[in-house]
Amino acid sequence: MSNSADVKYVYLFSEVKQAEDLVGGDWDKVRGLLGGKGANLADMTRLGVPVPPGYTVTTVACNAYLKAGEKFPPGMWEQALEAVKSIEKDTGKVFGDPKNPLLVSCRSGAKFSMPGMMDTILNIGLNDEVVEGMIKLTNDARFVYDLYRRLVQMFGSVVMEVPDEVFEAVLTAARKKAGVKTDAELTAAAWQDVTAKFKELFKSYTGIDFPTDPNEQLRLATEAVFKSWNGKRAIDYRNASKIAHDLGTAVNIQTMVFGNMGDSSSTGVAMSRNAATGENELEGDYLENAQGEDVVAGIRQTDPISALKKRAPKIYKEFADISRKLELHYRNMQDMEFTIEQGKLWLLQTRDAKRTAAAEVKIAADMVAEGLITKEEAVKRVKPDQVDFFLHPQLDSKAVKDAQEVARGLNVSPGAAVGVVALDADLAERWAKGEGKPVIMVRPETKPDDVHGMLAAQGIVTCRGGRTSHAALVARQFGKPAVVGIEELELDLDAREMRVGDLVIKEGDWVSIDGTNGIVYLGKLETVVPDISNPDLLKVLSWADEFRTLEVWANADYPVDAKRAREYGAQGIGLCRTEHMFFESERLPIVQRMIMSKAHSDKVEAISELLPFQRSDFEGLFRAMEGHPVVIRLLDPPLHEFLPGHNDLVEELADLKIKLQHAHDMSEIDSMLEQIRIKQDYLTRVEALKEENPMLGTRGVRLGILLPDLIKMQVRAIFEAAIACLKDGVKIKPKVMIPLISHVNELRTMRDILEAEAKKVIEENNNIKVDYEFGTMIEIPRAALTADAVAQVAQFFSFGTNDLTQTTFGISRDDAERGFLVEYQQQGILDDNPFGSLDGDGVGKLMGIAAELGRKTNPKLDLGICGEHGGDPKSIHICHKLGLNYVSCSPFRVPIARLAAAHAAMADKK
Amino acid sequence: MSNSADVKYVYLFSEVKQAEDLVGGDWDKVRGLLGGKGANLADMTRLGVPVPPGYTVTTVACNAYLKAGEKFPPGMWEQALEAVKSIEKDTGKVFGDPKNPLLVSCRSGAKFSMPGMMDTILNIGLNDEVVEGMIKLTNDARFVYDLYRRLVQMFGSVVMEVPDEVFEAVLTAARKKAGVKTDAELTAAAWQDVTAKFKELFKSYTGIDFPTDPNEQLRLATEAVFKSWNGKRAIDYRNASKIAHDLGTAVNIQTMVFGNMGDSSSTGVAMSRNAATGENELEGDYLENAQGEDVVAGIRQTDPISALKKRAPKIYKEFADISRKLELHYRNMQDMEFTIEQGKLWLLQTRDAKRTAAAEVKIAADMVAEGLITKEEAVKRVKPDQVDFFLHPQLDSKAVKDAQEVARGLNVSPGAAVGVVALDADLAERWAKGEGKPVIMVRPETKPDDVHGMLAAQGIVTCRGGRTSHAALVARQFGKPAVVGIEELELDLDAREMRVGDLVIKEGDWVSIDGTNGIVYLGKLETVVPDISNPDLLKVLSWADEFRTLEVWANADYPVDAKRAREYGAQGIGLCRTEHMFFESERLPIVQRMIMSKAHSDKVEAISELLPFQRSDFEGLFRAMEGHPVVIRLLDPPLHEFLPGHNDLVEELADLKIKLQHAHDMSEIDSMLEQIRIKQDYLTRVEALKEENPMLGTRGVRLGILLPDLIKMQVRAIFEAAIACLKDGVKIKPKVMIPLISHVNELRTMRDILEAEAKKVIEENNNIKVDYEFGTMIEIPRAALTADAVAQVAQFFSFGTNDLTQTTFGISRDDAERGFLVEYQQQGILDDNPFGSLDGDGVGKLMGIAAELGRKTNPKLDLGICGEHGGDPKSIHICHKLGLNYVSCSPFRVPIARLAAAHAAMADKK
């Protein structure tokens, strides 16, 4: 290590090159050395952007200071004083000189933005003499005393830890004395008094006089920043965010500029593009003769940035050029803070701007067209969640503009919901289910007892709770828009109303919630579904397709779904659930007859009646998919699902028996008895089919083995449909899939049945050649663990991760998502709901075992996923890493999956 | 390969040494060359046992014959003729010489006993002239013609494939003509006629004359044996038994001896020890002046072998000496066939004898004492199933002796059952459950509809079906003794009776079944439970302990069970189910109060009332186990199990409401209303606790996380009990186990609760040091898959293979064992019921993954199993291979497990 006295601890903003050289040109290391803010200010300075001059004390200095028991490392302070001299030279002002005083700010700046660190101290360099001098210079005693009292206040509270409340008490007293309501109405004399009082306070709390020496102020402020690195809040935050404790913070000292020095001064914020729409136009607000905090506080009506164009076209042009320059440099839309001090434009900060999903997509597409970023960058920039925005209802932005905002809270579950307020779960359910009213359920917080109301409601609002509160978790689980933790919201359950300040909303009144942004509005606002065919979105998605290696297929049961899936970019059907077709009104009675029949011949006859239906279903799918693969899963659900419910039957029987008592003639009695007999038969069958744990019961392949005739019928329907297509010259790629196997022998049995029946159908049709594949779902741990054996029979695996998650975790989704899974997430036992996002450590590991074993047997084994996870970005990432060939998801989530698959491939390349 | 003309294809029985030398002294290879039977005869000959002289044609000759297109290899036939000459020399008889004829038998003999191969041809060497000569020699024309007709018949049917039925038709006609009922009544003349007719038949079917040249007879018989190796039945059998097709069969030619040549001739079978009791005494039956088949047919009353001692003490002694010699040589009890021909004893065969479990154990122990076998061999010889015999009721052997046998079938499920006959499942259930009668259910065969009856019955009998029939599988599944496939049993469901021949048994009559041996007896026989403290058994078990490496622990909930487990040899308690204690009558109301209480304080109060009970439970266990490990599993079952059933509550409520209508006064009404309110509360709670899939529901650790107060109470009880023991100087080794975890964080949460509470208890008790371990069950696939993480927190794993099988297979035991699992075994999809015998390929593999991952984190991790598989020999073998430290099973199965663990260790050493 070099002699620490030789170490350069202080860098002027203009010395960025030297910092870069020190760390070998690595910008990440520059940020490590100068902190994020310091590096950014230096970077802007190098670009020639007008930044108020200043310097940065490095993180190395901070660490040395802390290590040495809160002592500056040798040479550091001297370097800092040198830097002040340099600033004086640049600005022509002198630190502590009443005739032309230099004032500076002091801010912390670690490598990563970090709450809990020391905030800003402004106006360093003021003391009684400098104040006198400045009043002469500005001729504005009120302005100068306001600066002075701010310095004393900030110095007291931030550096010396005097409770801010005592300063606030003085301000309140001063307003009262002056008989005014706001600080803005206080006179110069009043501010002078306040400043004097603040100094007294300072002395009585700290035991020392307020330091009048500007260098002493600077030194104390610098030390305060260093010390704040080891403050409790900062340490807690680093622990929670897994940020290393040895990074240290830098200190940024920067010349003060003032937007409130007359009419040629102003201050504002602006974005380089429109954050709502993405239009390429400077957008923002500013205030003449004002300070930054006035813009934020919203007390005065701001002017749009376009007004500057008229009033000061030259400055506007300079600003627009800078904006463009920054966009070019950072290759992203910028969010800039600026101040104009007596006609001179200064940039105080720039950063990548926040924007809506719509804007993100448009900007990404535009910037590629402008040559600013590559397609790859454009794809990376759009988040899958932002694509989701295009698929779900949102509040209409026009309606929102005129709507009254009730309150803001945490945006824990996205989307819009509109309904009448219900203040408890029972009422929410009664109104929603009983009267068909859309309901927004509002509660102080939610508990497991409230889940039935939450499920019935359109959306959820709570007064308490954070991102992992019960309400937030359940809302996300079930896709209900929700705003939680609105602290100013008061519920009065006696009066059956809710209040925010003076606003009173009665139970039953309409409200609209924007879960995407965490806002509640009054009234019944219009909602819109953003357009998935947005050309910019289509562009970004088509670029995504160039980068991804995973194919994206869709789960679709009907030709209409298949068509939509194709429009959204699906490359195949990964799951056609044949049983859904059994529930249609003309078919269900036949299915029931099949289940109820006692004689084998009756059963077979009923099954054969289903054949034409299934054949035409499959033919439609094949035609819609035009040669793309179609995975048809043979019958999966347990038989009882096709029969009436047990309780319904018991009630119907009881009713019939009562009616029988009031029958009038023999024919009526006979008819009643016949009905009772039929219902009784159903009840007997339903009871016989009843299982302790239906999730683990007689369904999937187990049913197929017990009912081979049904399998034969389905196979026949598939092959007859295939042959009908082939005869018409329609290309087809059928894949037959067996669900729920746990042992390869189950699959063997099914294959034998299938091959025999397929052979028959083919022979009946002049031996037309039908290419097909035979495969299985992997949704039971045992199937995954013995995948090497299974792959001897299966040509493809499709991971059914819903059931695989249930069996691997040993949990029943129906029960758990409303029960202990929520508790688990609240207690932090699980990070995610494993049904929402694939559990990589457990379920993912098992999938990896299956993939490896399967491919050991058959390197060409086709691997996919058809559980709901197939549409979840995090899960898609895992699927990519596991080397799957495709993910299959709901048609609506196909665009999200396309993007997520591209992201996964890109991350993998890195 | 040497010139085939030089190859020795034929070995005299006396040439065993030469055969041994050829294959380097390897007896297994001698058996491969000479076949099992040939090798055995040669072996006996070498021992000096009187075996009728003969020779063996090798399997090599057979293979050469078949390969050459059914031609003897060069030199073979010449060697055979040489061997005949040698036999002539030994016996002083001459092949084909009417004056002193040599007759021989021809038998096949492959390396392994194999149905489907050619059977025996006797009396080769007879023709018209020899017959004449023999009649002169024996002066018994009837005897000689009987031999002759047998030769023609066997030669025709076996060598030339003339249907045996045509010969039988002639016999029937002959008996009719003679006006007699049995062959024994036919005269010499009749046999002469039959022989002539047989020869005619032979010619008309085969087109050739019956060969009169003895050498030609010998050649054709030899070829027939060779050819039978490739007969369809033999090939099918080899395919089914996975016997290689290139082994070939040997041919054994042996001098005929006759036990029916007068009063100094006899024939019989004998065992070297008593097959029922194991007593060391010659035991068997014989018949004077008779042939072997007369003994088997049971037409004449046999004499016990002890009778020979009186009648021919010298021969008896010779036989006893031979018996002893053979036992010494084969080091096992022998089952011998012998013939005495005119005062000369011949041994025809010896083999290891079948024996009862009791005999097996006694013989094993005795032979060790006699120095005949080692302890290791004794342990190996006793099968775990045979130990099982000592644990279950069997029919009393004295009762059996006098009982009437109804019929015999397949012994598919062991044990004895006594009950009244019920001919259908509904009646079986009604009698068993409704009237408390023990029932034997008798059906033509069983189907899934019959299961309720089978479960209610003591035992099962069917007319049809084999070892994997529905009846057999279900019976074994549920441990019901069963005899199936009794073909002669006729059921008359109209007359409600069953018949075997003339015997009629009415429904409701008593029968007794011996499932161990597959026999049905008439009447209500006594049963006995053999004694586990049998000293021979204890000896064998203690030897087993010397060889096993797996420890054997027991699952026990109460001190009395723990004591029994210790008596049976358990080395620890692997599973104490704390919840069983909750069901006791004085505790259940407290448990219910805990579940029903709404206020947290009420819940905590109820829980605290359970503390003294649990503390004394645990203290009792610790004391009973005297320092051996005790694994205490914290609460596992779902709460609803402690509440009344849903349907019961609904019925009780309905009853109460009806009673309310008939109430007489206000106080009665009030009391009714109060009761209704309570029941209604219960019903509400039961409905709230209801889960779709309770097996996957809120139980185990999930419950613990929702009810930490209960966990605290259990922990307190354990530590207070531990401290009470320590204070008394009682050694303890408590291990606390958490059930049903799927994520390490669940375990962390539990550990934190446990450690905090344990610390408190210890501090309250003067900081007495309590050594304990903390561990978890591995019964959910995810826990197994993430065992490396779990082992960071757990000091031991105990595989809960019941639930692990359910989740790994995705099946619910309650439903599946009565449903599709039976179908699966019948169809051969699964070999075993995975709940009976651990599924090595799936569940076992997962256990292996868990063991490996867990030990990677903590090489000292203690691994055990506490599912029911812990008492199953096959499963114990898997556990041994997985490197587990112990198996834990029901106290009753501890002896079986000790033996099985020894077998596993021995097999592993090989």
Convert the pLDDT of each residue in A434-451 to its tens digit: 899 999 999 998 887 888
| Residue A478 pLDDT level (bands cut at 50, 70, 90) | confident
Chain B residues in contact with A641 (beta carbon < 8 A): none
Arithmetic mean of pLDDT, A275-287: 91
| Residue B551 pLDDT level (bands cut at 50, 70, 90) | very high
pLDDT value, residue B120:
85
Interface test with B, best of A689, A742, A832, A833 (most B CBs within 10 A): A742
Min Cα–Cα distance to chain A from B420, Å: 28
Min Cα–Cα distance to chain B from A805, Å: 9
Q: Specify whether the backbone of B257 is left (phi greater than 0), alpha (psi in -120 to 50) or beta.
A: beta
A799-843 per-position pLDDT tens digit: 999 999 999 999 998 888 878 888 898 888 999 899 999 999 999
| Strands of A344-383, DSSP E | 344-352
Arithmetic mean of pLDDT, B473-480: 82
> What helix, strand, coil percent values describe chain A, rounded to 5?
50, 15, 30
Arithmetic mean of pLDDT, A776-784: 98
Of B897 and B3, which is predicted with more confidence? B897
User: Is some CB atom of chain B closer than 8 A to the CB atom of A702?
Assistant: yes
For residues A212 and A214, give the distance between their C-alpha atoms in angstroms, rounded to a whole number. 6
Taking 70 as the threshold, does the pLDDT of residue A298 lie above it?
no
Q: What percent of chain B has pLDDT over 70?
A: 99
B695-748 per-position pLDDT tens digit: 999 999 999 999 999 999 999 999 999 999 999 999 999 999 999 999 999 999
Across the interface, which of A697, A810, A819 has its CB nearest the CB of B815? A697
pLDDT value, residue A319:
96
Taking 60 as the threshold, does the pLDDT of residue B116 lie above it?
yes
Strand partners, B798: B777, B864
Residues 765-804 of chain A with CB under 8 A from chain B are: 779-782, 785-786, 789, 803
Arithmetic mean of pLDDT, A630-645: 93
Mean pLDDT of chain A: 92
Strand partners, A54: A254
For residues B67 and B226, give the distance between their C-alpha atoms in angstroms, rounded to a whole number. 11
Q: Is A725 a catalytic residue?
A: no
Q: Which CA distances in Å does A474 have to A226, A450, A471, A641?
A: 43, 10, 5, 27
Chain A residues in contact with B746 (beta carbon < 8 A): 829
Q: Residue B114 gets which letter from DSSP?
A: -
Q: Which two tokens stand for residue B754?
A: 């446990």
Taking 80 as the threshold, does the pLDDT of residue A59 lie above it?
yes
Taking 90 as the threshold, does the pLDDT of residue B819 lie above it?
no
For residues A246 and A249, give the distance between their C-alpha atoms in angstroms, rounded to a whole number. 9
pLDDT value, residue A299:
63
For residues A574 and A875, give the distance between their C-alpha atoms in angstroms, rounded to a whole number. 16
Cβ separation of A842 and B779 shorter than 8 Å? no
Pair B453, B429: CB distance under 8 Å? yes
Taking 50 as the threshold, does the pLDDT of residue B2 lie above it?
no
pLDDT value, residue A718:
98
pLDDT value, residue B907:
94
Residue A104's closest CA among A257, A228, A245?
A: A257
Across the interface, which of A743, A786, A810 has its CB nearest the CB of B830? A743
Strand partners, A418: A512
Residue A221's closest CA among A162, A158, A167, A148?
A: A158
Mean pLDDT of chain B: 92
Across the interface, which of B691, B782, B845 has its CB nearest the CB of A809? B782
| Residue B242 pLDDT level (bands cut at 50, 70, 90) | confident
| Residue B4 pLDDT level (bands cut at 50, 70, 90) | low
Q: Which residue in chain B has the smallest CA separation from A822?
A: B706
Q: What percent of chain A has pLDDT over 90?
A: 75
Q: Is A866 a catalytic residue?
A: yes
Interface test with B, best of A741, A785, A823 (most B CBs within 10 A): A785
Arithmetic mean of pLDDT, A420-446: 94
Arithmetic mean of pLDDT, A26-50: 94
Across the interface, which of A743, A803, A812 has its CB nearest the CB of B692? A812
Arithmetic mean of pLDDT, A294-315: 83
Taking 50 as the threshold, does the pLDDT of residue A1 lie above it?
no
Secondary structure (3-state) at A429? helix
Secondary structure (3-state) at A906? helix
Chain A residues in contact with B687 (beta carbon < 8 A): none
| Residue A766 pLDDT level (bands cut at 50, 70, 90) | very high
| Residue B205 pLDDT level (bands cut at 50, 70, 90) | very high
User: Nearest 5 degrees, angle CA B328-CA B330-CA B336?
Assistant: 95
Taking 60 as the threshold, does the pLDDT of residue B3 lie above it?
no
Q: What percent of chain A has pLDDT over 70?
A: 99
Across the interface, which of B705, B742, B814 has its CB nearest the CB of A810? B742
User: Nearest 5 degrees, angle CA A645-CA A649-CA A655?
Assistant: 145
Secondary structure (3-state) at A619? helix
Strand-strand pairing, A629-633 and A573-577: parallel
User: Is some CB atom of chain B closer than 8 A to the CB atom of A842?
Assistant: yes
Least confident segment among A116-125, A194-203, A303-312, B562-571: A116-125
How high is the ipTM of this complex?
0.84
| Strands of B118-167, DSSP E | 121-124
Min Cα–Cα distance to chain B from A700, Å: 11
Catalytic residues of B: 470, 866
pLDDT value, residue B298:
60
Q: Which CA distances in Å does A316 have to A301, A338, B758?
A: 20, 12, 72
Q: Which two tokens stand for residue B492?
A: 């008359």
pLDDT value, residue B510:
97
Arithmetic mean of pLDDT, A368-381: 96
Interface test with A, best of B470, B807, B822 (most A CBs within 10 A): B807
User: Is some CB atom of chain A closer than 8 A to the CB atom of B831?
Assistant: no
A695-754 per-position pLDDT tens digit: 999 999 999 999 999 999 999 999 999 999 999 999 999 999 999 999 999 999 999 999
Residue A872's closest CA among A839, A837, A825?
A: A837
pLDDT value, residue B1:
42
| Strands of B161-315, DSSP E | 249-255, 266-271, 283-288, 303-304
Arithmetic mean of pLDDT, A232-255: 90
B25-75 per-position pLDDT tens digit: 899 999 999 999 999 999 999 999 999 999 999 999 999 999 999 999 999
Of B2 and A757, which is predicted with more confidence? A757
Chain B residues in contact with A705 (beta carbon < 8 A): 820, 823-824, 827, 829
Strand partners, B864: B798, B886
Q: Which residue in chain B has the smallest CA separation from A695?
A: B693
